[in-house]
A and B are shown apart, each in its own frame.
Chain A
Amino acid sequence: MSQEIKSKLGFPGQWQETTLRIPDDEPPPWDPSYKFQTVNKAVPRVDAFAKVTGRATYTTDIRKPGLLYGRLLVSSHPSATIKSIDVSKAKALTGVKAVIALPIKEVRFVGQEIAAVAATSSQIADDALRLIKVEYDPRPFVVDVETARKEGAPLVFPKRAAQAPEGKSANVTPQRITKRGDIEAGFKRAEHILEGQFRTQVQTHSCLEPHAFTAEWEGDQLTVWASTQSTFSVRDELAQVFEISPSKVRVFSEYMGGGFGSKFGARASGKLAAMLAKEAKAPVCLIPSRKEEHLTHGNRPNSVQHFKMGVRNDGTITAMQLTSYGTGGIAGGAAATRPMLGLYRCPNKLAIDEDVFTHAGPARAFRAPGHPQGAFSLEQMVDMCAEKIGMDPLQIRLQNDPHTVRRAQMELGAKRIGWDRRNKTPGTQKGPIMRGLGMASSLWYNTGSAGAEILVKIHKDGRVEAFSGGQDIGTGIRTLIAQVVAEELGIPLQLLHVHIGDTQHPYAPGSGGSKTTPCVTPAARKAAFLAKQKLFDLARTLLKLEPKTPMIAQQSRIFSKADPKMSVDWAQLTRYLPNGILSVQATRAHNYAAYNNIIAGVQFAEVEVDTQTGLIRVLKIVAVHDCGLVLNKLTARSQVNGGVIQGISYALFEDRILDPRTGQMVNPNFEHYKIAGSREIPEIDAVLFDVYAGSNNTHALGLGEPTTVPTAAAIANAVYNATGARLFELPMTPDRVLKALAQRRSPQK
């Protein structure tokens, strides 16, 4: 059933021979000596033309005959009991086809869904919302994390009252404690102990395409077009809600405009779209407003982190202790401890964290949950240690980081940014404009898992289709499937047509954890590999070769390995396909013993700080990242660019601001919720670092998430290197920079 193969894994300078146990019908992972034709090249997206010409149909573009427009009524109170909902006037409005009031008694945040309407135009739907009378009985609320922690604070979940930790509010969850080694001994061994208090803000996902759903019923068959990062979870959730078989639900997501972790499942808006469609007996399209997107559709929790680190004069980090809390509104997920637990050799670690509930919209997974927050504190602490012992921040990292890939990335990145140029003594330039360099590391774990399937169909005209039910969150999976299949069959990309985003196609997992490429592409390669074996049989028959004659498929030809003149063209061969078609479906195997299971990554930032206005300008980011074998150099670079841009935006601008006195968000728009624009984007030197990882047949690992992890920390370290003032709070706005500079000038204040 399985075979043992010897595989050369690693990267130049760090090769190692590894024995892999792989299933019999699996192609072995590509050998480093293999000459790629399509994979590992800079290949433009196969759907680029459709996207830039507006031909690509997103969920918000779906137009069906008789389509109705759905709108949501959301709570305007942060905490209240709903005494009554009167929808009669809304129902009576001409053009309104369905009104649904949800059976909820309590609201716990501004933006919570209460009711929905469907009407013949979005304007009528809006009018109808304003005719719904909700009688609220407002209750005390708390949106500020510090206040929410205190005993006696208004409770988000009154039922938790009895679970209050000693001296704290029941809004606080029990502490999660992770211990490694002996923290006390670690601090005892240290020659210096440094401490820092760090704060990070709430960031909303701000997907450019809202969480849109269009739903249509035909009898008990439900069809949904969803802007989702998990077509199959939308299908399964809706099947469960409406108590029908998943076979009766079909979900499409051919193109989608950003998810970042906030678009799993149908959730309230998906369910309401389907409920409205059922009641109105007509298709309904429900598109949340930008305000609702900010309030309701996910965020990255904030954090308050107290870090303590011990270091010896020789640079050895001996102890790391992080105590942190944060709020994800009515949801959890605020832990910021993962980077300190995962990075650096230090044997003695203690991580303590707790979630704090507040009357605010629920957090959702957000591009490397917990990591940008955790890296912001950890990577500044490492720099503080380095300064204390008079060591270069690069040197202390090289010394304490056991990861061979990241160490190589550090050396490479340092060269590309010109690390020698950094200020030996921060804050000593003449000013008012000061420049500096900083760096920070990241890690990520997800290497994909078994289960994804791909169907490949080879047609008699030589064209090839590949089918996956999964979605493209933006990483370009449509293109990657085409590349991998074309590579395996030895044919040009133009012969491929890839279908994705339809739950009637074979299964693919949700796009979370940066795992789409490592999950889906090995299935694609395997399906193509198995189809190729059948084509080899056909070719041997045509060429009158012995069975089992070793064959090669390359440059649109199938030929004998021993005698390349014994050859048949791709176009010629496919004409002989019995029944005119060859279909093969394959499943992604379990992971093999890989060269590395932890994805590395390091970024270097060069900044300019106007010390009189507090304005930070990022001049350059060198981002060195690995994702196993880079399947497409263009789409991979796009991932890095996107992660860095989102990281800069997080570092300097984005901030969900809740008014403490009303619980309302004061900036639920893109005018005052600031996102980096074109002028804020520096030169981004995306350096992709190929690793023959070996955990699957394409060597692919994830990339989407780690690329945004170290950016804010690298910028903060660069700001320190420029000015000598350390920024302990995100976003690094002019007022905070000015305050830090003033504190540096007169520390007693």
Chain B
Amino acid sequence: MHRFEYANAASLQAAQEQLKADGSVIKAGGIDLLDLLKEHLIQPARLVQLKSIPELSNVHFDPQRGLSIGPMLTLAQTIQHPLIKQHTPSLVQAAQAIATPQIRNLATLGGNLCQRPRCWYFRSEDFHCFKKGGRRCFAQEGENINHAIYNNTLCAMVHPSGIAGPLVALGASVTLLKPPAPDRRLIKTKPLPHQTQTLPIEDFFTPPERSLLRETILGPQDILTHIHIPPRSSHSRDLYLKQKHKESADWPLAEIAVSAEIEQGRCKSLRVVLGSAAPTPWRSKAVEDAILGKPLDDKHIQQAAKAVRQDAKPLAQNAYKLDLFETLVARALHALNHPASQGRP
């Protein structure tokens, strides 16, 4: 078995020091990491454990700035957290629908955002695909029932994170701690400070055309430190729906996250994000444009739901996902106006 060092980081600064050595990787919940290790997809020299840094699990609310969530919060803690429940139900709905109770007890929000794709070709060491430096995407002509229907021409993975969709819909941003810039000073007095970078979460994820070997902008020593969700108005609604094949632990076939401001039965503003649809959380502007400002009645909802078909290029086996997304859009939009339906048919 591949041997590695296991380091408990005492602080963010210490973690960054520990990440400097070649082959060091962050360990959060360890769920995805263990799978990658067992299939020999990674051979890290050192795992840097972030659980020992308490501030990474903090949750704050500020009426002006909104909700700030530490990425080491587990999915189980997310589901239980009163502030998160109160301000962003869709995040709770998404966390609740992930995997099994055992996994939710260990898996973290940060780990869920940063996990590698679950594409079965990527996950098997027998397939040397684009994402592993190979020369092809096996899913294009292969078994692609679970794969992407949007932006799938290069790599047909679907983004694996259940909470990414709600965060994009909620307009969240993330803060990264980055190592100091290269020190080009002639006289080096104090060490240069670590840098932080805050960016919209949409820019955190990288589509295949930007990078095949990874799915986020995270550099080897970068640490995700905060997830911010802007404050919501009293007209705001958000929800998340997931369609799985099995109700028991299963990866989704289709997901939708919607966040909107509703006034007099119409969306004043709206974000619709489709999950398990594309290599990144897929914001469907076509659906948004089709329903924005229009009454949320059956006729307009049906029209808007059909808009999911724009820009879609299903592969040989996954055209059925269009039906699923059309249904999920219709159910989600209906639920915006009828929260009691909870997106049920």
Contacts and interface: CB of A to CB of B under 8 A. Distances in A.
Interface of A: 76, 123-124, 126-127, 432-433, 610, 612-615, 653, 657, 659-662, 664, 666-668, 671-672, 674, 676-680, 733-735, 738-739
A127 B249 CA distance: 32
Contacts of A612: 323, 327, 330, 345
A525 B143 CA distance: 55
Contacts of A614: 320, 323-324
Contact of B247 (A666, A677, A735): A677
Nearest to B318: A735
A672 B120 contact: yes
B247 A679 contact: yes
A680 B246 contact: yes
A671 B318 CA distance: 19
A735 B320 contact: yes
25 contacts: A76-B126, A432-B345, A610-B345, A612-B323, A612-B327, A612-B330, A613-B243, A614-B324, A615-B245, A657-B143, A659-B121, A662-B138, A664-B126, A664-B127, A666-B120, A666-B124, A666-B143, A672-B120, A674-B245, A674-B250, A677-B246, A680-B248, A734-B324, A735-B317, A735-B320
B120 A613 contact: no
Contacts of B127: 662, 664
Contacts of A76: 126
B120 A653 contact: no
Contacts of B248: 676-680
Given A433-B345, A661-B141, A735-B145, A676 B120 contact: no
Interface of A is mostly: loop
Contacts of B146: 672
Interface residues of B, number: 30
A613 B327 contact: yes
A734 B320 CA distance: 8
A76 B327 CA distance: 41
A657 B324 CA distance: 22
Contacts of B126: 76, 662, 664
Given A664-B126, A677-B249, A739-B320, 12 more contacts: A124-B1, A613-B327, A615-B243, A615-B245, A659-B143, A660-B142, A664-B124, A666-B142, A674-B250, A678-B248, A734-B253, A735-B320
Interface of B: 1, 118, 120-121, 124, 126-127, 138, 141-143, 145-146, 243, 245-251, 253, 317-318, 320, 323-324, 327, 330, 345
Nearest to B253: A734
Given A612-B327, A734-B253, A676 B121 contact: no
B246 A676 contact: yes
Nearest to A655: B145
A660 B316 CA distance: 14
B254 to A, nearest CB: 8
Contacts of A662: 126-127, 138
Contacts of A738: 320, 323
Contacts of B249: 677
A341 B245 CA distance: 35
Contacts of A667: 120
Shortest 9 CB-CB contacts between residues of A and residues of B: A677-B248, A123-B1, A735-B320, A679-B247, A612-B327, A666-B120, A679-B248, A432-B345, A738-B320
A432 B126 CA distance: 42
Contacts of A433: 345
Nearest to B146: A672
B320 A680 contact: no
A679 B124 contact: no
A100 B114 CA distance: 42
Contacts of B120: 666-667, 672
Contacts of B320: 614, 734-735, 738-739
B161 to A, nearest CB: 16
A679 B246 contact: yes
A671 B251 contact: yes
Contacts of B345: 432-433, 610, 612
Contacts of A671: 118, 251
Contact of B121 (A653, A666, A735): A666
A399 B1 CA distance: 64
A126 B1 CA distance: 6
Contacts of B327: 612-613
A671 B320 CA distance: 21
A659 B138 contact: yes
A661 B138 contact: yes
A659 B142 contact: yes
A613 B344 CA distance: 11
B323 A613 contact: yes
Contacts of B250: 674, 677
A614 B244 CA distance: 11
Nearest to A76: B126
B87 to A, nearest CB: 29
A734 B246 CA distance: 10
